[in-house]
Structure 1
Amino acid sequence: MLQSVFTWLLTPLSGANEHHVATWAAWHGRLMVISWAVLLPAGVLAARYFKVLPHQSWPAELDNKTWWRAHQTLQWGGVLLMTAGLALAWCNASDASSLARAHGTLGWCIGAAGWLQIAGGLARGTKGGPGDQRCKNDCTSGSLRGDHYDMTSRRVAFELVHKVLGTGAILAALFAIATGLRVADAPRWMAVVLASWFCLLGALAVRWQGQGRCIDTYQAIWGPDVAHPGNQKQPIGYGIQRHTASTWKRRWRTHRHD
């Protein structure tokens, strides 16, 4: 019984007796899977659910940059590995089947989305507010101005595009990975492992969403005081939550042992 399971897992998706793939294609697949199945989704989860850490004394302790450092490192790493994977395909892919051409088109689209995310992040505007570097020596009202602190139209547009494009690219990557496995006629165990991995990421997202950890970036940085201009506007994005100090503590008393 166990032998038959191993045999089934090692068999290519088509049911062929052997699996052959060019070296460049194998490395292309590895790089794209590491970037779009591991690094980039992990960076999204870090940004969405770890802006305030579970035992952080929020709002007494604000602007914990752990999530930001993780998000920035994971996204840059993912995009760079993705670019290397695309370069391999650009230099070597030819005489592709219709499925391979569809896979390639989708791959180039999500590749462009990845670099658009980087460009958008660099053009997101100034931060402003308490804690801005400009406030070290002068915290007059003028020095507090910033695109994020004031939630200017530039910042609102950035958040909308960044969140929609990022989510869309991750979802599109699922189809790109699935078609890539099919084009390479990969062993079945690869599909099983990747499907299980994405199910795990989805389960974690559902769990953390239910725990109220998808806190508004603005509140994570500056707290819930309505004196801050951004707290007078609606948060941007699906499922983004806002808390008071008491609701945050109550949630973590409830979920501490989950």
Structure 2
Amino acid sequence: MPPALPAAVRWILPGGLALCLGILVALILPGWPGQWLSLPLSGTAGHHLVPWIAWHGRLMVLSWGLLLPLGILIARFFKVLPWQAWPAALDCKAWWRAHLWLQGSGVAVMSAGVLLILGHSGMPGQLARWHHLAGWTLVGGAALQVFGGLLRGSKGGPTGARMRGDHYDMSVRRVVFEWLHKGIGWTSLPIAMATIGVGLALADAPRWMPLLLGAWWLMLAALALTLQQAGLCIDTYQAIWGPDPRHPGNRRQPIGWGITRLPSPPASPPGAHRPLAWPTENKE
């Protein structure tokens, strides 16, 4: 069985959400908390942004600050769910559907934010130029992720229509895809956080925005660290096909850092269980 969900998650998740909610509640309270949180970062009495800049920032924060990081966290740590009877129950697709929906929504929202700035001149200054370059770097990385996903190859395996497949065989095509997909995804996160931070500073955003984002990112980071230390970053290959060494992907090192490879269960006495069924085309 995979490691159990750490008890710390029971206070990190509600504690982080309560902190985020507390910032929003304080914003609408009368008096000092709401007034201070509503002021721009510079402390001036107020500021005004043209609508296309304001909506560009909102959409990019929603995409890179909320949807995409959450999708990455789910894909890394929830390939095997705490209540799943793994390895008797394999290939739970809940993580895949959540990852696909969150990343697809994030890319769609990001694309809308990009369309808003096309044809407009950027702000002057070195910091604005860095924001511009980093932003287009993120857009390029997201495009590579989409096209890479479409070209990741076939699945295959005992549960598929055919045994042979790029993922099941861990072909060169699949190996290259996984290295690029994971590498671009994790590299994009710190770039996105820095780009959003610079964007908020350039827009002289209200103080509650960076505080709320900081609380959200802090909660996600604490969850990721706790789940990583608990060994819940289960190898995708094992999550789908189990730990049996007859599967070709289990005979090579998993791709990526900090991935947990679970051992095969001890062999049962002869006749105690039905052996793994292999399609005829796989027999030698």
TM-score band, normalised by shorter chain: 0.7 to 0.9
Matched, 1:82 2:101: no
Partner of 1:164: 183
Letter in 2 for 1:74: L
Kept after mapping to 2: 8 A contact 1:24/1:92: no
Q: Secondary structure at the match of 1:91?
A: coil
Q: Distance in 2 between matches of 1:240 and 1:19?
A: 47
Within 5 Å, give how 1:93-242 maps onto structure 2.
93-132=121-160, 134=161, 143-242=162-261
Partner of 1:10: 38
**Which 10-residue stretch deviates more, 203-212 or 107-116?**
203-212
Letter in 2 for 1:30: R
Partner of 1:67: 95
Q: Which runs of 5+ in 1 are unaligned?
A: 135-142, 248-258
Q: Which runs of 5+ in 2 are unaligned?
A: 1-29, 267-284
Shift of 1:96: 3.2
How big is the alpha-carbon RMSD for the aligned residues of Structure 1 and Structure 2?
1.6
The percentage of counterpart residues that share the same residue type is: 53
Q: Secondary structure at the match of 1:62?
A: coil
Higher helix share: 1
Letter in 1 for 2:65: A
Partner of 2:54: 26
Q: Secondary structure at the match of 2:118?
A: helix
Q: Distance in 2 between matches of 1:19 and 1:215?
A: 48
Q: How many aligned residue pairs are there?
A: 237
Greater CA radius of gyration, 1 or 2?
2
Q: Distance in 1 between matches of 2:37 and 2:121?
A: 27
Kept after mapping to 1: 8 A contact 2:245/2:264: no
Letter in 2 for 1:100: A
Q: Distance in 1 between matches of 2:111 and 2:206?
A: 25
Relative to structure 1, the CA distance from residue 22 to residue 109 in structure 2 (aligned partners, 3 Å threshold; closer, same or farther) is same
- Runs of 4+ in structure 1 deviating by more than 6 angstroms, as ranges, are none
Shift of 1:4: 3.7
Q: Distance in 2 between matches of 1:15 and 1:28?
A: 23
Partner of 2:73: 45
